[in-house]
């Protein structure tokens, strides 16, 4: 089964070939003038140019070749030689029935499924999440779902930042503040402590709140005081050498952070398949460094060991990959390189997509080049899927009113408050019981945040404007939910009245437009997939909701005569299924009522 565009492209291509012209020029696209045609083909112009002929003449020859194609209700030549194609009601009805009967709602799967790993989210122990993490989670989750829906086998990995300098900072700050914790750590390091006892001390004394409070102070001191920084570096190196007290305390930090993060991500509809951390590849680093050394790839540089990655023709000089620091510790890039080795061994992905802030573009370019030099990955196998920032009204990356970085949970709470307010304002949700109202408000909040992000091409930065994001009017998540809920309520009413859906037969312009949109789902998905850009799907969902709205205004359902009513009901059902599928791929869920 193929979409209308592909089917028509084949037919027009055959007509080109029959006229002795290249078949690929028969490609059709949705019409620029939907009032005149459904699709158009511009191929007669380049064909005529190549053959040194008159384009209208060429077009006429192609049009003649299309005579007898019963799918077409009208074929016209416009302007210098554009071919305008209008589909018959029968062809549109047929396509609508196919989509209605298709569990995939008209979306073709990929021809050759691949193994894809999506590296996204990237939260850290203690270091607060910023807008980059929020965007990564939203975009990465959607890309993961889109790839999976098209048939690839996909694994999403949070790549938890749990192994860097911030861990040394925290070990120092926590033991300085709390003598009981320091005692337990020292005892373990001296070989006199008990693991279980120490863990009990940590659980009693160190909460996530403590880490949140201590980390910014410690980070600031590390910047200002070289001695403090050096001690933190030393503690980090000791942790990486698995000094038992440090190691157990670190495990406690990672655990409390992960529990809270998983809860917050889950509330946002973001769930990782695996939650591996930088620390998980620690054991791979020593053998990797040895191998890199044996291959002669490491260069000594003032006590550190690096891999140079510059290439001929580079416009600017990329710094080398720092593999081992002069203190002997592994760096951000080192764990990334070892993670490539680990993923190759454990999952063997055909491609890895790193959904990370555009500001890390150089980091990834350096790591990818080093991986290629080392023979760990092929060209193009590792791809950085970058994105712009979510800004405040000051044009800088969004911060809270107090000037701090946002916490995911605070963001959700704030958006949910706004959603409740908006629901009240719009007179919605009044008949819901308190629990259902809360559920609806939460779904509206998630839709507001996610759709505001995903409707832009990921590379574009945008301004955080909760008022606009949460409006039920305009191009917003709440508008889409509202439309979905409206269809649900129509379908409920039909079911209550015992009216059943039947065979789809379209004739009205608004019905035809709706079917053309249902048909465009496949292309939207293919674009979102190829460009790793969910905005194509977001745009489709928005246009589909609008087309439904117009259809419903022009074509009454329940008051229509029986066969028409059954057809329109089936059209409404199919639209809802496709809309919910598209929303699901964006990571958005519609409530039953509002
Ligand atoms: N934890 C990192 C950060 O907060 C993001 C991780 C991105 N993924 C990766 N493989 N480096 O900046």
Structure tokens at 346: 């454990």
Please give the sequence-ordered ranges of beta strands (E in DSSP) within 171-282, or none if there are none.
Answer: none
pLDDT at position 242: 93
Packing angle of the helix pair 179-190, 195-205 (nearest 10 deg): 160
The average pLDDT across 579-583 equals 98
Question: What residue's CA is closest to ligand 1, atom 7?
Answer: 122
Please tell me the distance from the alpha carbon of residue 428 to that of residue 432, in angstroms, as a whole number: 9
Please tell me the distance from the alpha carbon of residue 395 to that of residue 250, in angstroms, as a whole number: 37
User: Chain-wide mean pLDDT for the chain?
Assistant: 95
pLDDT at position 2: 82
- How many C-beta neighbours within 10 Å does residue 326 have? 12
Percent of the chain with pLDDT over 90: 91
Q: Is 13 in the pocket of ligand 1 (CB under 6 A)?
A: no
> How far are the Cα atoms of 142, 233, 300, 313, 508 from residue 305, in angstroms, in the given order?
38, 17, 5, 25, 71
Q: Would the pLDDT of 118 be above 70?
A: yes
Structure tokens at 588: 């958005």
DSSP string, 533-574: -THHHHHHHHHHHHHHHHHHHHS-STTS-HHHHHHHHHHHHH
pLDDT at position 126: 80
Q: How close is the Cα of 97 to the center of ligand 1, in Å?
A: 46
**In the structure, what pLDDT confidence band is assigned to residue 66 with cuts at 50, 70 and 90?**
very high
Q: Would the pLDDT of 128 be above 80?
A: no
Exposed e or buried b per residue across 443-479, where buried means at least 16 C-beta atoms within 10 angstroms of its C-beta: bbbbbbbbbbbbbbebeeebebebeebbbbeebbbbb
Pairing of strands 115-119, 351-355: parallel
The average pLDDT across 58-83 equals 94
Question: What residue's CA is closest to ligand 1, atom 2?
Answer: 122
The average pLDDT across 389-408 equals 81
> How far are the Cα atoms of 143, 151, 245, 285, 443 from residue 116, in angstroms, in the given order?
11, 10, 38, 24, 29
Cβ neighbours for 205, distance < 8 A, ≥ 6 positions apart = 178, 180, 181
Q: Would the pLDDT of 562 be above 90?
A: yes
pLDDT at position 409: 84
Q: Would the pLDDT of 403 be above 80?
A: no
> How far are the Cα atoms of 20, 127, 181, 337, 469 from residue 400, in angstroms, in the given order?
65, 16, 33, 34, 17
Q: Look at the block and give the residue holding tokens 């050498």.
A: 241
Q: Would the pLDDT of 407 be above 90?
A: no
Q: How close is the Cα of 431 to the center of ligand 1, in Å?
A: 45
Q: What is the DSSP letter of 277?
A: B
The residues pairing with 116 across neighbouring beta strands, listed in sequence order, are 154, 351
Q: Is 55 in the pocket of ligand 1 (CB under 6 A)?
A: no
Q: Is 429 in the pocket of ligand 1 (CB under 6 A)?
A: no
Model confidence over 504-545: pLDDT tens digits? Answer: 999 999 999 999 999 999 999 999 999 999 999 999 999 999
The average pLDDT across 556-584 equals 97
Q: How close is the Cα of 213 to the center of ligand 1, in Å?
A: 22
The residues pairing with 282 across neighbouring beta strands, listed in sequence order, are none
pLDDT at position 8: 95
User: Shortest CA distance to 483 belongs to which of 574, 577, 549, 570?
Assistant: 549
Structure tokens at 430: 């009044």
> Cβ(121)–Cβ(273) under 8 Å?
no
pLDDT at position 481: 98
The residues pairing with 77 across neighbouring beta strands, listed in sequence order, are 83
pLDDT at position 1: 63
Pairing of strands 82-87, 39-41: antiparallel
- Which atom belonging to ligand 1 lies closest to the Cα atom of 356? 7
Specify burial of residue 390 (Cβ count, 10 A radius: 0-12, 13-18, 19+): buried
Model confidence over 306-320: pLDDT tens digits? Answer: 999 999 999 999 999
pLDDT at position 400: 73
Model confidence over 173-215: pLDDT tens digits? Answer: 999 999 999 999 999 999 999 999 999 999 999 999 999 899 9
How far is CA 383 from its chain centroid? Answer: 14
Q: Is 150 in the pocket of ligand 1 (CB under 6 A)?
A: no
What pTM does this model have? 0.95
Specify burial of residue 329 (Cβ count, 10 A radius: 0-12, 13-18, 19+): buried
Q: How close is the Cα of 157 to the center of ligand 1, in Å?
A: 11
Domains of the chain: 4-87 (3.30.1360.70), 109-387 (3.40.50.620), 409-585 (1.10.730.10)
Q: How close is the Cα of 329 to the center of ligand 1, in Å?
A: 18
User: Shortest CA distance to 142 belongs to which of 420, 536, 551, 513?
Assistant: 536
Structure tokens at 407: 């916490």
**In the structure, what pLDDT confidence band is assigned to residue 359 with cuts at 50, 70 and 90?**
very high
């Amino acid at each position: 089964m193929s979409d209308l565009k592909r089917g028509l492209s084949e037919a027009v291509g055959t007509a080109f070939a029959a006229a002795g012209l290249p078949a690929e020029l028969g490609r059709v696209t949705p019409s620029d003038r939907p009032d005149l045609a459904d699709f158009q083909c511009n191929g007669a112009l380049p064909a005529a140019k190549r053959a040194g002929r008159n384009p209208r003449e060429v077009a006429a020859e192609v049009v003649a070749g299309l005579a007898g194609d019963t799918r077409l209700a009208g074929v016209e030549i416009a302007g210098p030689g554009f071919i305008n194609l209008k589909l018959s009601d029968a062809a549109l009805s047929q396509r609508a029935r196919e989509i209605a009967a298709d569990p995939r709602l008209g979306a073709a799967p990929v021809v050759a499924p691949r193994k894809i790993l999506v590296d996204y989210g990237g939260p850290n122990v203690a270091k607060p999440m910023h807008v980059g993490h929020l965007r990564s989670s939203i975009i990465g989750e959607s890309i993961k779902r889109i790839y999976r829906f098209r048939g690839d086998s996909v694994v999403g990995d949070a790549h938890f930042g749990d192994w860097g300098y911030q861990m040394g900072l925290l070990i120092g700050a926590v033991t300085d503040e709390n003598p009981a914790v320091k005692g337990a750590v020292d005892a373990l390091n001296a070989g006199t402590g008990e693991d279980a006892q120490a863990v009990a001390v940590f659980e009693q004394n160190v909460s996530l709140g403590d880490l949140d409070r201590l980390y910014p102070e410690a980070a600031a001191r590390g910047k200002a005081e070289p001695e403090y920084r050096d001690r933190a570096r030393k503690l980090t190196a000791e942790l990486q050498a698995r000094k038992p007290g440090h190691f157990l305390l670190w495990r406690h930090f990672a655990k409390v952070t992960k529990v809270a993060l998983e809860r917050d991500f889950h509330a946002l509809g973001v769930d990782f398949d695996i939650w591996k951390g930088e620390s998980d590849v620690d054991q791979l680093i020593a053998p990797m460094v040895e191998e890199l050394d044996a291959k002669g790839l490491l260069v000594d540089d003032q006590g550190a060991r690096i891999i140079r990655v510059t290439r001929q023709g580079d416009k600017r000089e990329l710094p080398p990959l720092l593999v081992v620091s002069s203190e002997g510790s592994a760096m951000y890039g080192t764990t990334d390189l070892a993670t490539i080795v680990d993923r190759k061994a454990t999952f063997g992905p055909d491609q890895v997509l790193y959904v990370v802030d555009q500001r890390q573009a150089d980091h990834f370019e350096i790591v990818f080049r080093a991986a290629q030099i080392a023979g760990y990955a092929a060209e193009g196998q590792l791809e950085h899927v970058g994105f712009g920032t979510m800004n405040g009204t000051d044009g800088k990356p969004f911060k809270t009113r107090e000037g701090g970085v946002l916490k995911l949970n605070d963001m959700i709470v704030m958006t949910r408050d706004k959603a409740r307010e908006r629901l009240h304002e719009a007179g919605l949700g009044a008949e819901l019981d308190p629990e259902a109202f809360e559920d609806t408000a939460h779904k509206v909040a998630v839709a507001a945040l996610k759709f505001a992000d995903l409707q832009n091409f990921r590379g574009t930065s945008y301004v955080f404007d909760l008022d606009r994001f949460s409006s039920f009017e305009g191009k917003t998540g709440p508008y889409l939910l509202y439309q979905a809920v409206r269809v649900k309520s129509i379908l409920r009413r039909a079911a209550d009245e015992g009216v059943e859906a039947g065979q789809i037969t379209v004739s009205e312009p608004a019905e035809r437009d709706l079917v053309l949109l249902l048909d465009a789902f496949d292309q939207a998905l293919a674009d979102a997939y190829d460009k790793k850009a969910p905005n194509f799907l977001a745009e489709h969902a928005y246009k589909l909701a609008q087309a439904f709205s117009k259809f419903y205004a022009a074509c009454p359902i329940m008051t229509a005569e029986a066969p028409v009513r059954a057809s329109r009901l089936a059209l409404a059902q199919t639209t809802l299924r496709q809309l919910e599928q598209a929303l699901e791929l964006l990571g958005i869920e519609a409530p039953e009522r509002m």
